[in-house]
Amino acid sequence: MGILIEETLSANSNTQTVIDDDNELGLMAVRLANAAAFPMVLKAALELGVFDTLYAEAARTNSFLSPSEIASRLPTTPRNPEAPVLLDRMLRLLASYSMVKCGKVSSGKVERVYRAEPICRFFLKDNIQDIGSLASQVIVNFDSVFLNTWAQLKDVVLEGGDAFGRAHGGMKLFDYMGTDERFSKLFNQTGFTIAVVKKALEVYQGFKDVNVLVDVGGGVGNTLGVVTSKYPNIKGINFDLTCALAQAPSYPGVEHWSVACAVKPQMYRIHIGSRTG
């Protein structure tokens, strides 16, 4: 055995401290054992529109809202009379991750109230074109299609193969998307690429002399849309599967070119869009 060099992979410097107290270790172990609760609560909060509701109120008045007030302002009003109680429990967990701020008010009885923290703006459904939204990313990552894929991890380690294929009848991801319109639409709504590309273009100047730019596997064209908005002289060609482009919006300077799903690209190439602007 060679020389051992320990490597710290934690992004949180607080976890680098050696914990030798059994109580502290026990609490950490319990938190890890229940770690699945956070992403599922986060997903539900995004689907319900909790962050959008809290952020809109914070932008208007910078005030806190009670769970009952939040429930009454959601895009879909809950029919469940226990909804405020459930929202309170969800928000307490989100507060422990500093996604919302928690306070208490007393008006005959003590009640918890909540306000959006700044990080919430990265999870707003209608914030895609500004800084990019991670809302759809979370929702698609914890959709049953991907959760069923993760469930194959142990068997892939032991037996090999492709986790997605094992979970979905041998199909590859993009072939599967051609058979599941709901999931395909969800997958193509993920918009954080916009934020990443915008940041990159603040420092990267490599596109300034480009006349034609082709994005192979460009999805709905978010990346090219950002590039051509900064460099309108560029003719963008967004090339992907027909099923991927089914929900593709129109971007100035971008043409959408498609290839039929589940076939070789060189066999079927169809022009389904036109340059605008």
What is the predicted pLDDT for the residue at 131?
Answer: 61
Top-confidence residue, 189 or 196: 196
Q: Could you say which architecture CATH assigns to the domain 35-122?
A: Orthogonal Bundle (1.10)
Return the domain boundaries, the chain.
35-122, 127-189, 205-259
128-132, 178-182, 226-230: which has the minimum mean pLDDT?
A: 128-132
Average pLDDT over residues 247-252: 87
- pLDDT classification of 267: cutoffs 50, 70, 90: very low
Residue 200 CA to residue 236 CA, distance in Å, equals 18
What is the predicted pLDDT for the residue at 145?
Answer: 97
What is the predicted pLDDT for the residue at 133?
Answer: 78
- pLDDT classification of 263: cutoffs 50, 70, 90: very low
Residue 264 pLDDT exceeds 60 = no
3-state secondary structure the chain: CCCCCCCCCCCCHHHHCCCCCHHHHHHHHHHHHCCCHHHHHHHHHHHHCHHHHHHHHHHHHCCCECHHHHHHHCCCCCCCCCHHHHHHHHHHHHHHCCCEEEEEEECCCEEEEEEECHHHHHHCCCCCCCCCCCHHHHHHHCCHHHHHHHCCHHHHHHHCCCHHHHHCCCCCHHHHHCCCHHHHHHHHCCCHHHHHHHHHHCCCCCCCCCCEEEEECCCCCHHHHHHHHHCCCCEEEEEEEHHHHCCCCCCECEEEEEECCCCCCCCCCEECCCCEC
Cβ–Cβ < 8 Å for 254, 224: yes
What is the predicted pLDDT for the residue at 125?
Answer: 82
Residue with tokens 């422990």: 96
What is the predicted pLDDT for the residue at 203?
Answer: 93
- pLDDT classification of 262: cutoffs 50, 70, 90: very low
Mean per-residue pLDDT over the chain, rounded: 86
Average pLDDT over residues 39-55: 97
The helix (run of H) or strand (run of E) holding residue 216 is strand 212-216
Residue 13 pLDDT exceeds 80 = no
Could you report the per-residue pLDDT of 166-179, keeping only the tens digit for each? Answer: 999 999 998 898 89
What is the predicted pLDDT for the residue at 108?
Answer: 81
Residue 269 pLDDT exceeds 60 = no
Q: Which two tokens stand for residue 261?
A: 């799903």
